[in-house]
Amino acid sequence: MSTSRSSLGALTIAAIGVVYGDIGTSVLYAIKEVFGSGHVPFTPQNVFGILSLFFWTLTLIVSLKYVLLVLRADNHGEGGLVAMLALASQAVKDQPRLRGVLLGVGIFGASLFYGDGVITPAISVLSAVEGLEVVAPEFKRWVIPLTLVILFALFAVQKRGTAGIGRFFGPITLVWFAVLALLGVWNILSHPSILLAVSPLYALNFALAQPGTTFIILGAVVLCVTGAEALYADLGHFGKKPIRLAWFAVVMPALTLNYFGQGALLLEDAQAVKNPFYLMAPDWAQLPLVLLATAATVIASQALITGAFSVTKQVIQLGYLPRLNIQHTSVRDTGQIYIPFVNWGLFVAIVLAVVMFRSSSNLAAAYGIAVTLDMLITTTLTFFVIRHAWKYPMWLCVGATGVFFLIDITFFASNMLKLMDGGWFPLLIGGCIFTLMKTWKDGRAILNDKLKTDAIDLKSFLEAVFVSPPTRVDGTAVFLTAETGAVPNAMLHNLKHNKVLHAQNLFVTVRNHEVPWIGLSRRVEIEPLGHGCWQVILNYGFKNDPDVPRALEQIRSHGCDLDPMMTSYFLSRDVVVPTIGGGMSPWREKLFAHMHHNAGAAAAFLNLPNNAVVEMGSKVEI
């Protein structure tokens, strides 16, 4: 029991660092943006109303929707939008058209994650460094350069992995939440009556008295729940219990106390609205607070960058992006990966965001649209999971998700008012990523159809070959092929040019499935074809790391003994040639051809030994 409690405690502290870093730094700018917008007249009654809106937004969206409902929708223990998408698409697999729509919606949501991934580090680190202006106004000109230096350092260390510094994330973030709570209590003591704002009546009265203003400021109120998606995304790393315990025992109380403390400060001094978070602290504590806030925002950004790597890998496995160079940064934890293209692509976009918007207030105008749209997509997918996978009655499914759908769509509609003020930026990023994903998926389908049309049946071909067999040479040839039952182009080229056949021939197809993990017991399917030939299917989930040589070790019990020193891997490398007519529009065909040409090497992706790979090319017109 003590071991179990110790493990739960360690996981809870780790979850505080990784899961709640983003939502924990929203205190830096959320209140400031609501009252700094100029839409809310500054009166004590309005302060109570806004704080009540904050408290009930946290309660409804985070506590009820994510912590209590969405965390239940795990996909073999895994969470996140991609896992939810796989769960929902599997639940409606008997309805192809609906499944196609859900896949499109879910992949668009995954694309928006990258837009959020650009804005979050930019606004978090920038808002923390802006605290220097409170310490000394002359520091203002150093805010943007210092922000860019911190961000560059953060992205530069990604290739080293987070194993070394990751152990400090939880304790530092725990200190951060303790400081948030202490600052809140210190200021609440001057106006204890501010705690009455927990009553929903204040939020209700504010909304009824000023419905137009309420709708407008919801775009700023939603800033208090940015990062809520991380609760679900990190389910597989920590489990439900530590995430729930961390929220209710530490994060929710600390955030509530801090927001209410900022409200108490505003009742005391309306001028504090320029930066209520830093002005909560006494003068001597402001510089240390800036340093702690910067550390907290770096940790929050780190969690999002790691999430971008993880989502990219999953999307590649699902077939929506070409292979990329994926480096493992830990020999023990396969989940710790580094993708150079994603890392520096994010960095360039973040630098662009910081330079374009120049302040956290301007970035706040760009923030929210991608987040609320992702929340809306999660709610929609949740409905299909609990209705079609869990088979709950319709009235219960509508009741469980309908309220959250209305809340999400209201927040999204409010954020759309910020579209021209910067909201277009994350949408543009998400739209570009979605175009790439859709083009790759459609292009692969067209390419596979073309290859199927030109394919020769494998069994018939082997029968014909062995009527008058070519010279057999020692060793094993592993032919990687996208489709089972078809003769690989690499084999045709090998027979044509070398006029030999190996003693053992494996025709291997790697299949990726819409589940996170597939265990070794279900990894291999094998069918003997005679004459020392076998058809092999290797099954992987979207979180598994493909490793063909390791998987093939399992087939020895089927009479095929592989000697690594005598095994060659043959790959067909197709060169895509866009043609006019049919398929996709010309510009998308050219884009697909470019993506196909620059895709990472299949040998590295499948973990094939470099000195045993033979690639044979062919041109394919689409």
List, for residues 138-180, the tens digit of each pLDDT value: 888 899 999 999 999 999 988 877 655 667 788 999 999 999 9
* 447 belongs to a structural domain: no
Domain-ending residue, one of 408, 442, 476: 442
* 449 belongs to a structural domain: no
- Structure-block tokens of residue 416: 């759309």
Order of strands, edge to edge, in the sheet holding 524-530?
Answer: 524-530, 533-540, 500-512, 471-480, 567-577, 613-621
User: pLDDT over 70 for what percent of the chain?
Assistant: 96
* 262 belongs to a structural domain: yes
What gap in Å lies between CA 607 and CA 602, rounded to an integer?
8
Domain-ending residue, one of 415, 442, 469: 442
Does 425 share its domain with 467? no
Does 472 share its domain with 364? no
* Full residue range of the structural domain in which residue 327 is found: 2-442
Which residues make beta-bridge pairs with 511? 539
Does 350 share its domain with 478? no
CATH of the domain at 156: 1.20.1740.10
* 448 belongs to a structural domain: no
Does 325 share its domain with 202? yes
* 451 belongs to a structural domain: no
What gap in Å lies between CA 372 and CA 413, rounded to an integer?
9
By C-alpha distance, which of 369, 100, 64 is closest to 219? 369
- Structure-block tokens of residue 435: 């175009």
* 44 belongs to a structural domain: yes
Which of the four pLDDT bands, split at 50, 70 and 90, describes residue 449?
Answer: confident
Model confidence at 1: pLDDT above 50: no
pLDDT, tens digit (0-9, with 9 covering 90-100), for 412-432: 999 999 888 888 999 999 999
Mean pLDDT across 477-485? 89
* 434 belongs to a structural domain: yes
What gap in Å lies between CA 430 and CA 445, rounded to an integer?
23
Q: Cβ of 333: how many Cβ atoms within 10 Å?
A: 14
Does 486 share its domain with 405? no
Domain-ending residue, one of 418, 442, 466: 442
Does 419 share its domain with 512? no
Which of the four pLDDT bands, split at 50, 70 and 90, describes residue 90?
Answer: confident
Does 460 share its domain with 603? yes
Does 50 share its domain with 186? yes
Model confidence at 329: pLDDT above 90: no
Does 177 share its domain with 326? yes
Does 475 share its domain with 438? no
* 129 belongs to a structural domain: yes
pLDDT, tens digit (0-9, with 9 covering 90-100), for 97-126: 999 999 999 999 989 889 888 988 898 899
544 DSSP assignment: S
Question: What's the domain count of the chain?
Answer: 2
- 3-class secondary-structure state, position 88: helix
Does 466 share its domain with 524? yes
What gap in Å lies between CA 402 and CA 380, rounded to an integer?
9
Mean pLDDT across 280-305? 90
pLDDT, tens digit (0-9, with 9 covering 90-100), for 562-618: 888 899 999 887 777 777 766 788 889 889 989 988 888 888 888 899 888 888 767
Does 297 share its domain with 435? yes
Mean pLDDT across 397-401? 90
